[in-house]
Amino acid sequence: MSKEFLRCIECSKQYDLYEVRYSCECEGLLEVNRPEPHRTDLKEEFDQRLLSRSRLDRSGVWRFREAVLGLPEESIVSHPEGSTRLYSHDALAKFAGLSILFLKHEGENPTGSFKDRGMTTAVSMAKHLKMKAIACASTGNTSAALAAYAGQAAIRALVILPQGKVATGKLAQTLAYGARCLEVKGDFDEAMRLVQELTQDPEIYMVNSLNPFRLEGQKTIMWEMLQDLEWQAPDWVVVPGGNLGNTSAFGKALVEAYEAGWIAKLPRIAVIQAEGANPFYRSWQNKFEGLTPISAETVATAIRIGNPVNFHKARRVIATLNGVVECVSDVEIATAKKNIDRVGIGCEPASACSLAGIRKLVASGTIDEGHRVVGILTGNILKDPDNALTMCENRPVTIEPTVASVRDQL
């Protein structure tokens, strides 16, 4: 039925699109592949759909459906997601050292992070395959998204979280949407290993970003950005890197857009990690001669990952897009977040890596002050209210219920 198939990025072996597997026999990562590039004229169709009121056209993922995933409409589970804003604010451009800076806020998705874009495709596939249950390991946002989409589809959701390391907003969402939450005595990387073993059971579907359909949905972050820039590719796209799913999806999306003739040039990519969770940065410095897992620690809990599963895809993206990898300290993350918060945009700590990284790369001369740069804000400020309250000095003041005591505070 579908022209698409699964293909191993290492040995090129092909599998049927609907075969439930997350890696090749050779253990290589799988990606969705198509025999031909996307049609050039699809771009005009995507633009026309911006005026449409239909359910799928309203979704920032399914608006691009011909280039995302061929599923019958009745299998599609959509909230609808995407259609997130592209901000530009002079104060933030100035902070970064640029004349113009765009920030695409993926925290404006239905559950407050970009994970919804990959979850609509992965859960739709689970529904199509009539899966009994869906599972993931998560630092919190994947679990919130899974819980919401599985809730909509009435499929059981099981999530494995690193105990004590999930931000309050994310845990609250996951529980409220009704997923079964298991807190593992260990870190994310251990939770990930556990879920990989668990989902060898053919009735439990795994929706971590090892699942190639997650990345097909996440490609639309790039296409929506290009659409908002009237298909004039920026010079740079800058994104935080944890498990490196976005990095992999962005590379695929940009190459597909270029090969289809939707854009005339390829942007470069910069992946930003936290200093205490920087295995990809270290590997890049060693010219990608392998990846040494580390024990990760950072305030940016969404990217507190020491053994990124998409390493081999992401490494290729850096090569194809002439990319760079940078890392920033927790203090640099906090400073960037404070700037984003104070102009009323706001984001969770991991997202602030984008701005912190841009600032660092401009200072080092890698990014030119005149370049057009788009930073991705991956998650909403309310995801981590404890961090928001601890990090800002602004405090409520208790007063008597009189106008005089209010005036005293002005």
Ligand X SMILES: *Cc1c(COP(=O)(O)O)cnc(C)c1O
Which one of residues 28, 151, 186, 385 is an interface residue with Zn ion (CB under 5 A)? 28
* Whole-angstrom distance, CA of residue 370 vs CA of residue 357: 16
Please say whether the beta carbons of 207 and 122 come within 8 A: yes
Instruction: Assess whether the previous peptide bond of 110 is cis (omega < 30° from 0).
Output: no
Which one of residues 6, 8, 93, 136 is an interface residue with Zn ion (CB under 5 A)? 8
With contacts defined by CB under 6 A, how many residues of the chain interact with ligand X? Answer: 19
Quick one: 57 or 216, whose CB is closer to ligand X?
Answer: 216
> Does 26 engage in binding with Zn ion (CB under 5 A)?
yes
The 10 Å Cβ neighbour count of residue 288 is: 17
Which one of residues 123, 379, 381, 388 is an interface residue with ligand X (CB under 6 A)? 379
> Does 113 engage in binding with ligand X (CB under 6 A)?
yes
Q: Which residue is nearest to ligand X (CB)?
A: 379
Instruction: Return the residue matching tokens 């529980």.
Output: 175
Q: How far is the CB of 184 from ligand X (least distance, A)?
A: 18
Judged by CB under 6 A, the stretch of 76-84, 236-244, 282-290, 395-403 that binds ligand X is: 236-244
> Does 246 engage in binding with ligand X (CB under 6 A)?
yes
Query: CB neighbours of 147 closer than 8 A, spacing ≥ 6?
Result: 157, 159, 173, 174, 175, 176, 177, 178, 179
Which one of residues 110, 212, 217, 241 is an interface residue with ligand X (CB under 6 A)? 241
The strand order across the sheet containing 14-16 reads 14-16, 5-8, 30-33
Quick one: 24 or 157, whose CB is closer to Zn ion?
Answer: 24
> Does 298 engage in binding with ligand X (CB under 6 A)?
no
Q: Is the dihedral of CA 178, 184, 185, 188 positive or negative?
A: negative
> Does 31 engage in binding with Zn ion (CB under 5 A)?
no
* Whole-angstrom distance, CA of residue 409 vs CA of residue 44: 55
* Whole-angstrom distance, CA of residue 165 vs CA of residue 391: 17
The residues binding ligand X (CB under 6 A) are 113, 115, 141, 209, 240-247, 302-303, 348, 350-351, 378-379
Which chain residues interact with Zn ion by CB under 5 A?
8, 10-11, 13, 24, 26, 28
